[in-house]
Structure 1
Amino acid sequence: MRGLGSPRGPEFVTLSMRDSPEVAAAPGVVVPQGPRTAPARPKAPPRGRLLVTAALVAAVTGAAAGVAGARLSEGSEPAPAAAALPRVAPAPSASLSGLSATADRVLPSVVSVEVGRGGGSGFVVDDRGHILTNAHVVQGFDQVTVILNDGRRLPAQVIGEDDDEDLAVLEVAYPGDLAPATLGRSADLAVGDQVLAIGSPLGLSGTVTAGIVSALDREVRLGGARRTAVQTDASINPGNSGGPLVNARGEVVGVNTAIASGRGGGNIGIGFAIPIDRAAPIAERIIRN
C-alpha cells in the first residue's frame, strides 16, 4: 500500500471507487499554445513591451515634472494637497472567531514530516515530544525531520509503527518546543459536522481546508486490512497524510489517511481519516512499549 505523501516521496493513498486504493496523480498544468498570426503586415511591437515603455516614459515624465514643480514652487505659496480617494476605514481589531479561531488554535500542534525525498504531516499528542503520523509516511526510516509551524526543524526518531492500522509515533528530543493538540472523540461526530483538515499538501505546510463529515464508519482498505473510517469532503491531497482532522472546537477527531479518486486522479471530495478513538489507544500502546 502506498501512502499519502508529498510530490517528493510517498504518494498519497487513493481509493478507487470500487475496492482498492489507487494513487491520485496531481493534475498537470497544460499551457495552451496560441494561434499563429498571419504575416499580412509588419508585426506591432509586443503589447508587454509597449506597456513597459509607457511605464518608463511616464516615470521619466513624472520625475521631470516633479523637479520643475519644485523649482516653480520656490518662493511661492505651497500647492494644495491632492484630494485622496475614499478608502474603507480600518476595521476594529477583534479576536478570531469561528473556523479561523479553530485553525489558529490547532496549527501550532501540526508538523510537516520530511523523509528522504518525500514526507507527509503529523501532530503532537503529548508534552513529552510524541507525534502521531501515518506508518506509510515513515516506512523504512528510523530517523526523520519534523518542521514546526514556525519553520524550525527538529530531528525525530520513529519509535514504533502499526502497519495494519497505518499509524506511527515519532519522538523528538526537545518536547518544550512542541504544542500538544487536544484529542476529541470521534464517537461524538455526526454527519454534517464541520471539520478542518490541516497538513502539508504538495509540500505547502500549514494548509487548512474545510468541509463536513460526509459519513461515519465507512469501510475502506487502510493499512493491511479493511477498516472503518470517517469520510469527509475536506480537501485532502498528497502531503496531508498523518495530519489531523479536527472538529469546530479544535479537537482532533481523526488522522487523515486516504482519498478516493476517479480515472483522472486527484481529489474529488472523498477523503478518509482514521477515527481518533481507534488511533489514540494505538499511539498510547506504541509509546508505552
Structure 2
Amino acid sequence: MPSTIAGLGEPRGPRFVSPALTPEGGPADPYGGPDGIAGPDDVPGGPAAQPPDSPGPARWPRLLLTGLTLVAVSAGTGGVAGHLAARDDPPEAVAGAPPAVVPPGAAGDLVAAADRVLAGVVSVQVSGSGRGASGSGFLIDDRGHVVTNNHVVARGGTINVIGQDGRRLTARLIGRDPGTDIAVLRVDPGNGLRPLPLAASGQPRVGEPVLAVGSPLGLSGTVTAGIVSALDRPVRLGGGARQPAVQTDASINPGNSGGPLVNGQGEVVGVNTAIATLEGGGNIGIGFAIPIDRAAQVAQRLIARG
C-alpha cells in the first residue's frame, strides 16, 4: 500500500491555474476577494482561485510564473516576503539545444568549496520572544561578526549561534536593516569559526555551479548544490522595495535564511533569503539570494554604527 507524505501538498498537474489570476488571465486577489488585500474573512483559495474549465495550453507558463509567491525561509516565522516579478510573456522554446556539459573538475571544486566554508557557517537560533525563530549565518571577519537575515532576528529575544563543531555561542545583535533584510550579529572572537572570503566585485555567471550552505529544517551543516539560474531578478525582500537578486536552483528551505551561497572557489556570492513557491509549502527549485556586494555594504554600515 503506497504511503503519503503529509504536509507537502497535493501534486499539481498541467491544468493548475495560479490563484493570483482571474480566468481571463488578469491579476486577482489571492485570498478570493476583489481587492488584492488579505482581510479578516479572506481565505486562500477562495472563489477567485478556482481554475477555468478550458484554458488555452499556450498560457500555462505565464499563469504559473505570475502566481509564484516569494516566501522568507527562516524556520518558525512563516512570513510572506513579497512577490516574484515575472515576465508577461512565456519564454520561447529552444529547439534542438545541446545537453548541458559539466566542466571537468566541477564536482571536485564543489567538494573542496564545501570543506572550506562549513567551518564559517553557523545555525542561528532565537528564543524567548514568544515564538522562536531559526536560520543560518556566516562569519565575515576575524572580529566575530556574523551576517544573517533581518527576518530571522526581527522578533527579538536571546540569540545563539551553533558552529559546525556543535559549540553554542551567545551572540549580540549589532544592527539590522529591514529594507535589505540584512542583520549583523557578533560573537566573541577566538571561537574556532573561520571567516568566509567574499567574491570579488562583479556578478556571478549564469550557469555557474554554486552551493547553498546552512541549517534547513534545523539540520546544521547542510550543503545543497545547483547553479546560478538568473541574475538581477527583481524581487521584494523584507517587505521593502524591489531589488535585484541572484536566482538559483540550489535547494533552499526554511532554516536556510541568512546562510551563504558560495561559488566553486568557496567564495560567498550571495545571502540566501527566500524561495518562490506556489503554496508556501517548500522548495520548488527557485531560490533567491541577496548579492554579496550589497549585503557586504549594508553589513559594514551596520558594524560602523554598532
CA deviation profile, 1:68-90 (whole Å, cap 9, x unmatched): xxxxxxxxxxxxxxxxxxxxxxx
TM-score where L is the length of structure 1: 0.69
Which residue number in structure 1 is paired with residue 187 of structure 2?
A: 172
Aligned to 2:74: 5
Cα distance in 1, alignment partners of residues 281 and 188 from structure 2: 39
Counterpart in 2 of 1:222? 237
> Whose helix proportion is higher, 1 or 2?
1
| Structure 2 counterparts to residues 174-193 of structure 1, below 5 A | 174-185=189-200, 187-193=202-208
Aligned to 2:292: 276
Tell me if structure 2 keeps the 8 A contact 1:14–1:261.
no
CA distance in 2, matches of 1:264, 1:106: 29
Give unpaired runs (5+ residues) of structure 2: 1-69, 87-106
Structure 1 gaps, min length 5: 20-95
**1:164 and 1:126 mapped to 2: Cα distance?**
23
Contact between 2:211 and 2:263, CA under 8 Å: does it hold in 1?
yes
Cα distance in 2 for residues equivalent to 1:140 and 1:193? 35
Q: Is the 8 A contact 2:71 2:276 kept in 1?
A: no
| Alignment partner of 1:121 out of 136, 141, 161 | 136
Q: Which residue of 2 aligns with 1:112?
A: 123
Secondary structure of 2:202's partner?
helix
CA RMSD of aligned residues (A): 2.0
Deviation at 1:264, TM superposition (A): 6.7
Shift of 1:176: 4.0
Give CA deviations for 1:51-102 in whole Å, capped at 9, x if unaligned: xxxxxxxxxxxxxxxxxxxxxxxxxxxxxxxxxxxxxxxxxxxxx9321111
- Residues in 2 aligned to 1:100 and 1:13: alpha-carbon distance in whole angstroms: 33
Larger Rg: 1
Instruction: Give the Å deviation of 1:140.
Output: 2.5
2:173 corresponds in structure 1 to 158
Distance, in Å, in 2 between the alignment partners of 1:213 and 1:141 is: 33
Once residues 279 and 240 of structure 1 are traced to their aligned partners in structure 2, the CA distance between those partners, rounded to angstroms, is 16
Distance of 1:175 and 1:101 partners within structure 2: 24
**Preserved CA contact (<8 Å) 1:12 1:239:** no
Q: Distance in 1 between matches of 2:124 and 2:191?
A: 18
Shift of 1:250: 0.4
Taking the aligned partners of 2:254 and 2:201, their CA distance within structure 1 comes to 23
Structure with larger RCO (C-alpha < 8 A, sep 6+): 1
* 4+ runs deviating over 6 angstroms: none
**How many residue pairs get matched?**
211
The 1:114/1:138 distance shift into structure 2, 3 A limit, reads: same
Contact 2:273/2:290 (<8 A) preserved: yes
CA apart distance, 1:124: 0.2
CA distance in 1 between partners of 2:164 and 2:206 (Å): 30
Matched, 1:239 2:255: yes
Matched-pair contact (CA < 8 Å) for 2:84–2:235: no
CA distance in 2, matches of 1:145, 1:210: 27
Q: Report the Cα distance in structure 1 between the residues aligned to 2:115 and 2:82, rounded to whole angstroms.
A: 31
**Conserved? CA contact 2:136–2:259, under 8 Å:** yes
